[in-house]
Structures are given as C-alpha cells and as structure tokens.
Amino acid sequence: MEFNNLAFSHKQLMTISFSAIMLFTAQIASAQTPVTPVVPDWALPASATHKQVAPPSDFHRPARTENKPIGIFEGQSDVGAAVVPGSSSYDPATKQYTIVSAGYNVWYVRDEFRYLWKKVSGDVSLAADMRYPDSTGFGDRKAVLVIRQSLDDDSKEAVTAIHGAGMVHLAWRPEKGLRVKDFEYRITSRGGLPGGKSPDDGVIAHAQRVGIEKHGDEITLWLSVFGEPLHQFGAPIKLHFDGPFYVGIGFCSHLPDKTDTAILSNVVFANKAGEVK
C-alpha cells in the first residue's frame, strides 16, 4: 500500500507546523485581549455636551446573581448586568458593607446596580449609614435602600437614596416596565453649615443615615441629617407588593462602564414596621 498522497517534504511539514503555532498563538492572544465594553449612547452620563435619556423599552439584561449569604442578606445580584461586574464584601468587626458597582442609573424604565437582598413578605423596616470613600465621584451616584418585586431590571420597586451630591429621594416604579417617579429633597442651609463663602451662600447638608419603611402598602422615607434619631421625612407613597419580594441595600456609580464604591454600615433590618432606627 502506498501513501504518496500523504507524503510531505520536510520543508512542507515545517511550514504546516509554523502555521499551526501562529494560529494557536493568535487564538491565545485574542482570548487574553480585554474586550472594550460597548456603552449605548443613551447610557452615557449627563454632561455639558450630552443628555442622558431613557433606554429603549425593549432593552434588558438578566441579573447576575450569587445565591450565597453576605452579612444579614441572602444573596447579591448585579441587577441589569452592568457591563463591568460589581462586587460586595462585609466586615463583621465594623458591620460595614462595601459595595463596588458600575451601572448607568437606577431610574427611568430599567436599573443597573449591585444589590444585596433577602426575600420577605409583609411589613419592612430598613436603615443604614451611607458614605462614599471617594469624595470626587459622580454627583448623581446613588447608595440605595430598595424594595423590589423581582430581580428583573425593570421591576416594580420603591427606592430611597443618598446621591453623591447630597440629594435625597424617595422614588418608585409603579409597575414593571414603567418610568420611575420620585420626591426629591435638597437640604440647604444659609449660614448654618460650614463651607459657604458668605452667610448668603446655600450649603447642601449631606445626610448621614437613611431609612425606608413598608407598612401595608404605605412606603415612607426616614432621615438623619446630623446624627439625630431617624425621623419620617416627606410624604408617604402608596405601592403594593406581592409577597415574597426583595429587600436590601445597593449602589450604582451612575457611570455605565466605571465602578465606584459606597460603604453602608449599621444596617438595621426588621420584617415588621415601626423598627426604623
């Protein structure tokens, strides 16, 4: 039996081997080359030259979820699956949750944020101290307390937040897929806080602690500005959740492809109303 058709010269074998090595090397290099996240124009943060707008109604990403306990919470998720994955850790000695997250927003008709959660039914009291280690972060970043019907990015929800620039809000998405509504509070003092150039300059007070309470279908915002006991702030909203639903803490950098960090501590959670403190 002859194998003339399979016969290769030494030079041909070297050429084939070299080509195979080059192809394998190119495949390895391609696998190791970072892929630049694709950020839709609507997700870019607002600036002097750009206005952020609501995403298309059919744009969704499923949550990336880790079903393992962290502190008092049952699991954590990247709701909306921001293009850069988030992370979280808990220090039992300091009772601090450190949350790292990208995400274009927690707003409009869908959200992107890192969420530490537990599933409950009935009434809820939740509160936390909030701070940002980097004081230069984006002004609209949000450390949040959230009640959500699901982990879908367009879920019905109620949200309290302290923004990077100091604004506080109680926001809600009335039903799945609808646009968020809110009450916004900017607590400004003339002469009562340091930092103004004159007694007539308004200086924004950055709240230290925020809480949210669900009592039946009534949701209320609770606030401590200077370390005083939490007190109800502003009008309640009405929003119904079917149990079980999700309750927890989270953070969004408000930058679609860049992470930032928020630290939430002294978290109080109770599966009943009247325990915000």
Task: Find residue 120's DSSP bridge partners.
Answer: 245
Q: What is residue 16's predicted lDDT score, i.e. its pLDDT?
A: 45
User: Does the pLDDT of residue 61 top 90, yes or no?
Assistant: yes
Q: What is residue 195's predicted lDDT score, i.e. its pLDDT?
A: 85
Q: How much is the mean pLDDT over the chain?
A: 90
User: Does the pLDDT of residue 33 top 50, yes or no?
Assistant: yes
Distance (Å, whole) CA 262 – CA 274: 26
User: Does the pLDDT of residue 54 top 80, yes or no?
Assistant: yes
Task: Find residue 237's DSSP bridge partners.
Answer: 219
Q: What is residue 35's predicted lDDT score, i.e. its pLDDT?
A: 63
Q: What is residue 9's predicted lDDT score, i.e. its pLDDT?
A: 56
Mean pLDDT calculated for residue range 44-63: 94
Spatial contact of 77 and 109, defined as CB atoms under 8 Å apart: no
User: Does the pLDDT of residue 149 top 80, yes or no?
Assistant: yes
| Model pTM score | 0.86
Shortest CA distance to 184 belongs to which of 229, 141, 234? Answer: 234
More confident residue, 75 or 37: 75
Q: How confident is the model at residue 217 (pLDDT cuts 50, 70, 90)?
A: very high
Q: What is residue 3's predicted lDDT score, i.e. its pLDDT?
A: 45
Type of residue at 253? S
Q: What is residue 5's predicted lDDT score, i.e. its pLDDT?
A: 52
Q: What is residue 23's predicted lDDT score, i.e. its pLDDT?
A: 52
User: Does the pLDDT of residue 269 top 70, yes or no?
Assistant: yes
Cα–chain center distance at 238: 24
How far is CA 27 from each of CA 14, 21, 24, 233, 251, rounded to the nearest angstrom? Answer: 20, 10, 5, 58, 37
Q: What is residue 68's predicted lDDT score, i.e. its pLDDT?
A: 93
Mean pLDDT calculated for residue range 60-69: 97
| DSSP secondary structure code for residue 73 in this structure | B
How does pLDDT run across 68-122, given as a tens digit for each residue?
A: 999 999 999 999 999 999 999 999 999 999 999 999 999 999 999 999 999 999 9
